[in-house]
Amino acid sequence: MSAQKPRRGAYVIDTTRDTLGEVMDHIDGHIQLRPLNGGLEWDASSSELRPATAAEVRAAKRCSGGGK
């Protein structure tokens, strides 16, 4: 991802985990992410992230039951 940090609430893909997460905060140079379906947050470096596509977000919401 570019040097610019993703905004809070943005959906990104953590490329090291191949996991979609929602940006919750920026802490000590890391981006704190939360799984779309809830659960434990994790930290990632902005260099490990890329923006999620609209299709990836829709698919994740369907899988988590959020797209009912």
Tens of pLDDT, residue by residue over 6-62, are: 999 999 999 999 999 999 999 988 999 999 888 999 999 999 999 999 999 999 888
Number of domains in the chain: 1
Does residue 48 belong to any structural domain of this protein?
Answer: yes
Confidence at residue 12, expressed as pLDDT on a 0 to 100 scale: 98
Chain centroid offset of residue 50 CA: 9
Does residue 41 belong to any structural domain of this protein?
Answer: yes
Confidence at residue 62, expressed as pLDDT on a 0 to 100 scale: 84
Does residue 3 belong to any structural domain of this protein?
Answer: no
Helix or strand holding residue 54 (H, E)? helix 54-64
Phi, psi values for residue 57, rounded to 5°:
-65, -45
- pLDDT higher than threshold 90 for residue 68: no
Confidence at residue 46, expressed as pLDDT on a 0 to 100 scale: 92
pTM of the model: 0.84
Does residue 30 belong to any structural domain of this protein?
Answer: yes
